[in-house]
């Protein structure tokens, strides 16, 4: 088992020292914070998701629901599984959960990005939840960079939040320290979420691992290489949140403004929401919408197209 580096890389004490925070972000390509996301919100959302999984009969009846223990036989029989999102019914139901989208806007999170960007923050509405369970076709996510799925501005960051305690043995996220300085990497086909595997032959860096607790958050640049590590407890369902952020003044690709995986239109997602301010909030901003793709500014990367380098069109996120 890799070494837990939570204490060494905890940047929480730098929140009131923006210059040092920026320096660490520039050096490492990521920032890790302990106990920064409100636990009550995360526990409430965790219960909503696990109640949903219990309603569709995927949880073991030998354990409390909040433990998130899968029934192997029932998960194996899951109808039309879609990788790390359950199936279309499950993921559509998740996308309709107001709290799932609301957490991305919490001041504890957006205030960090205000310091990083020195600008108004755009929270991408294309929010992602990973529901990792022992279903057919679910593999650990290969090493990759997020920009291939985002386009828009390179200065887009992802925040990864475990929806419950997530120690390394449960198969959580590992970060390649300093890998953002290698630029955009060529890729080959991968087996995990997103379907792409970055080629790391020329990247000399170290993998950083954490034992995540509920309330923790790691955020990283769109060029920082990261992956999930194999679980030693496949029966324990891993729930996590991916939210993305950028400066509102920089270009955003229109795909980042649509629901993840196109599971349903926004009007259906919003149908039972109580907070009107969260609906279509990005339309109230003066955004620069750009369909321009990374390859257009980097023709030298066309040599990688035979390796499935996907910058001629947005990759599926």
Mean pLDDT of 273-277: 96
| Number of domains within the chain | 1
Alpha-carbon span 214 to 162, nearest angstrom: 6
Q: How confident is the model at residue 311 (pLDDT cuts 50, 70, 90)?
A: very low
- Summarize pLDDT for 99-124 with one digit per residue, the tens: 999 999 999 999 999 999 999 999 99
Integer Rg of the chain from CA = 19
Kindly state whether residue 69 falls inside one of the protein's structural domains: yes
Residue 314 lies in a domain: no
Whether 295 shows a pLDDT value over 70: the answer reads: no
Q: Is the pLDDT at 145 greater than 50, yes or no?
A: yes
Strand partners, 218: 32, 160
Of the candidates 211, 206, 176, 224, the residue with the CA atom closest to the CA atom of residue 7? 211
| Residue 302 belongs to domain spanning | 6-307
Strands 128-132 and 226-228: unpaired
Average pLDDT of every residue of the chain = 91
- Tell me what the mean pLDDT of segment 129-149 comes to: 89
CB 171 within 8 A of CB 138: no
pLDDT for position 81:
87
C-alpha–C-alpha distance, residues 262 and 212, integer Å: 30
pLDDT band at residue 301 using 50, 70 and 90 as cut-offs = low
Range name among 1-5, 93-97, 264-268, 280-284 with the lowest pLDDT average: 1-5
CB 58 within 8 A of CB 66: no
Span 118-144, mean pLDDT?
92
pLDDT band for position 297 (cuts 50, 70, 90): low
Distance CA 282, CA 104 (A): 13
The pair of structure tokens assigned to 284 is: 């109230």
- CATH number reported for the structural domain that contains residue 86 in this entry: 2.60.120.620
In a domain, 315, yes or no: no
Q: What is the mean pLDDT of residues 251-280?
A: 96
Determine the Cα–Cα distance for residues 81 and 77; give it in Å rounded to an integer. Answer: 9
**Predicted pLDDT at 39:** 98
d(CA 213, CA 172) in angstroms, rounded, equals: 11
Q: What are phi and psi of 24, to 5 degrees?
A: -70, -40
- Which of 190, 207, 209 minimizes the C-alpha distance to 199? 190
What is the per-residue pLDDT for 314?
Answer: 47
Mean pLDDT along residues 159-178: 96
Residue 1 in any domain: the answer is no
Is residue 148 very low, low, confident or very high in pLDDT (cuts 50, 70, 90)? confident
Kindly state the percentage of the chain with pLDDT values over 70. 92
Determine, yes or no, domain membership for 12. Answer: yes
Give the separation between CA 34 and CA 7, rounded to whole angstroms. 9
Whether 316 is covered by a domain: the verdict is no
Lowest-pLDDT choice from 133-137, 146-150, 159-163, 175-179? 133-137
HSE-CB for 119 with a 13 A CA cutoff: 12
């Amino acid at each position: 088992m890799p070494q837990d580096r939570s204490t060494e890389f905890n940047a929480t004490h730098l929140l009131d020292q923006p210059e040092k925070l920026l320096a660490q972000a520039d050096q490492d390509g990521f920032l890790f914070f302990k106990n920064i996301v409100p636990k009550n919100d995360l526990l409430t959302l965790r219960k909503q998701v696990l109640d949903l999984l219990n309603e569709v009969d995927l949880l073991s009846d030998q354990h409390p629901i909040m433990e998130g223990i899968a029934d192997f036989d029932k998960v194996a029989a899951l109808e039309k599984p879609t990788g790390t999102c359950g199936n279309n019914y499950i993921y559509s139901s998740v996308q309709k959960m107001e709290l799932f989208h609301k957490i991305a806007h919490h001041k504890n999170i957006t205030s960090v990005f205000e310091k990083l960007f020195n600008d108004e923050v755009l929270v991408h509405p294309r929010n992602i939840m990973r529901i990792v369970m022992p279903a057919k076709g679910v593999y650990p996510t290969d090493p990759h960079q997020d920009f291939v799925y985002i386009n828009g501005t390179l200065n887009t960051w992802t925040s990864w939040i475990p929806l419950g305690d997530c120690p390394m043995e449960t198969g959580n996220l590992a970060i390649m320290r300093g890998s953002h300085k290698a630029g955009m990497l060529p890729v080959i086909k991968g087996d995990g979420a997103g379907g792409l595997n970055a080629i790391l032959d020329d990247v000399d860096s170290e993998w950083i691992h954490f034992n995540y607790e509920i309330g923790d958050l790691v955020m990283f640049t769109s060029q920082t290489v990261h992956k999930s590590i194999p679980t030693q407890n496949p029966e324990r369902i891993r729930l996590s949140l991916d939210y993305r952020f950028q400066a509102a003044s920089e270009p955003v690709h229109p795909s980042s403004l649509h629901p993840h995986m196109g599971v349903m239109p926004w009007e259906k997602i919003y149908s039972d929401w109580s907070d009107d301010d969260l609906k279509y909030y990005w339309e109230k901003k003066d955004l620069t919408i750009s369909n321009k793709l990374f390859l257009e500014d980097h023709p030298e990367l066309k040599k990688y197209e035979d390796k499935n380098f996907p910058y001629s069109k947005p990759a599926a996120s």
